[in-house]
Amino acid sequence: MLRVAGVNQYYGGSHILRDVAFDVAPGACTALLGRNGVGKTTLLRCLMGLLPIRSGEVTFDGKSIAALPPYARAALGIGYVPQGRDIFPRLTVEENLQMGLATQKRGARMPDLVFEMFPVLKSMLGRRGGDLSGGQQQQLAIGRALAMRPRLLILDEPTEGIQPSIIKDIERAIRRLIATGGIAILLVEQYYDFAKSLADHYVVLSRGEVVARGAGATMDQDNVRAHLAV
């Protein structure tokens, strides 16, 4: 569904991404792993069009999207949950979720999937996003992305700063999304056990380049954890 081929990016004179290449298969979870500062978030920003790539290619369903602006990529069905969540704190939960409908036709209804994945949101529709806990805000951010009916969902560090009980809720939701077979997931994560539990495939970045890849089932045998150790 998503193909990244030979992507390079620089900050000033620093070569941040070095010929990065991997595929994200439909109906599966691909975990992108690596220590802090290796270029994971920069790569996601490139995939969403928030940063231009210096060279390389990004294709979605076989068509190049490298020159498309972020809103056009969202309209194609690419949902993005950034690190830090970036909800609208002064808007209500309902209003935040409605922002996810921006790519849909006027009058589109909220997908049942949003509340199936995170039923707690239905009881909080009138609360302001900024009044929620960190874990609730993360669920809201994922719910907002699901509201646009994505075909590819990109999650950047969804467990960061989240209490264990909410991590379990998010894990269950991602597992159910994968089971539907209709959504591809690109999961950026440092929490090894969380990533391993969900990954059908994995890719490891180090110093801006892919240094390992394989099946999620072989992550222990491939000693992937060593790539995340400080």
Q: Which domains does the chain have, with CATH numbers?
A: 2-88+151-227 (3.40.50.300)
Report CA-CA distances (Å) from 154 to 25, 74, 96, 132.
13, 11, 18, 22
Residue 59 phi/psi, 5-degree rounding, is: -125, 145
pLDDT confidence of residue 10 = 92
Higher pLDDT, 104 or 119: 119
Q: With a cut of 80, say whether residue 224 has pLDDT above it.
A: yes
Rounded mean pLDDT of 190-216? 95
Strand locations in 134-197, DSSP E? 152-156, 184-189
Can you give the pLDDT at residue 32? 97
Task: Give the pLDDT of residue 230.
Answer: 64
Instruction: Note the pTM of the prediction, 2 decimals.
Output: 0.93
